[in-house]
């Protein structure tokens, strides 16, 4: 069973020991920017990933610049892995996920492809360009798409018919080098404006080295209408 989620105090202490703020410039200091982080974080929220047996994943929010990913309006957030003894802040780069997979030491094809795809998407795809991705498994999922509880997405039927044969559900196959290849399709964009349809491909060696291949874009605007959000 995965270990318990650390407390906010434990997370703050880890950050104090491992994350230091770059000294603000003179003008920033004149305008009152603090020279040090406060290291205050929000309540950790579990990120369920069934593939992980030895670790528990959770996300936390913090002040601007403290954690790897920006959060509106002026904060940051990040994902941690905890094994009961140590914490690891999962940076959005391949070496971070590689070390986590190596400590788990489980063949990727022992996991459910959709579950493994979610792990890779959360750690390595979220926060990049485009910054938000939602995994889709079929053209029907795009026709019925919703973002969380938000409805009102309308697919461009002409565009979708032209590319629906290329949409692949999450899949884990064998790599020619002896590891695995993970593929999954996402709609991507900023916040709810998830227009771009494309496929993500990762190659993982038997030693859990992760290589992300360039994203293959099927269509830049698969929805002709998305719901409006007032910021």
Is 99 contained in some domain? no
Helix (H) / strand (E) element for 18: namely: helix 8-18
User: 80 with 131, same domain?
Assistant: no
Rounded to whole angstroms, the Cα distance separating 138 from 166 reads: 9
Q: What residues contact 194, with CB distance under 8 A and at least 6 apart? A: 132, 133, 134, 145, 147, 153, 187, 188, 223, 226
DSSP 8-state class, residue 156 = -
Q: What residues contact 223, with CB distance under 8 A and at least 6 apart? A: 142, 145, 153, 154, 155, 156, 187, 194, 195
User: 86 with 171, same domain?
Assistant: no
Is 100 contained in some domain? no
Q: Which of 21, 55, 90 is the last residue of a domain?
A: 90
Question: Residues 80, 45, 63, 41: is their CA dihedral positive or negative?
Answer: negative
Tell me, what's the pLDDT at 228? 83
Rounded to whole angstroms, the Cα distance separating 159 from 191 reads: 22
Is 188 contained in some domain? yes
- What's the domain range around 209? 108-231
Tell me, what's the pLDDT at 24? 64
Is 121 contained in some domain? yes
Q: Which pLDDT tens digits describe the chain residue by residue (231 residues)?
A: 678 899 999 999 999 999 998 876 665 565 566 788 999 999 999 999 999 999 999 999 999 999 999 888 889 999 999 999 999 999 999 999 999 999 999 999 999 999 999 999 999 998 777 888 999 999 999 999 998 888 899 999 999 999 999 999 999 999 988 899 999 999 999 888 999 999 999 999 999 999 999 999 999 999 999 998 755
Number of domains in the chain: 2
Is 103 contained in some domain? no
User: 192 with 81, same domain?
Assistant: no
Is 97 contained in some domain? no
């Amino acid at each position: 069973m995965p270990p318990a989620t650390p407390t906010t105090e434990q997370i703050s202490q880890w950050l104090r020991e491992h994350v230091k703020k770059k000294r603000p410039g003179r003008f920033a200091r004149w305008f009152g920017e603090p020279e040090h982080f406060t290291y205050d974080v929000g309540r950790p929220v579990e990120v369920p990933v069934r593939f992980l047996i030895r670790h528990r994943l959770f996300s936390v929010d913090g002040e601007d610049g403290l954690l790897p990913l920006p959060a509106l309006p002026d904060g940051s957030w990040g994902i941690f892995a905890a094994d009961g003894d140590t914490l690891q802040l999962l940076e959005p780069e391949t070496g971070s996920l590689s070390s986590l997979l190596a400590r788990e030491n489980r063949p990727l094809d022992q996991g459910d492809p959709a579950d493994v795809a979610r792990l890779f998407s959360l750690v390595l795809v979220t926060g990049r360009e485009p910054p938000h991705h939602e995994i889709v498994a079929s053209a029907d999922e795009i026709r019925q798409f919703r973002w969380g509880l938000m409805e009102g997405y309308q697919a461009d039927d002409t565009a979708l018919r032209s590319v629906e044969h290329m949409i692949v559900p999450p899949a884990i196959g064998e790599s020619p080098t002896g590891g695995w290849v993970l593929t999954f399709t996402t709609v991507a964009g900023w916040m709810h404006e998830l227009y771009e349809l494309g496929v993500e491909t990762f190659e993982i060696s038997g030693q859990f080295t992760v290589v992300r291949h360039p994203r293959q874009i099927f269509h830049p605007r698969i929805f002709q209408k998305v719901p409006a959000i007032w910021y």
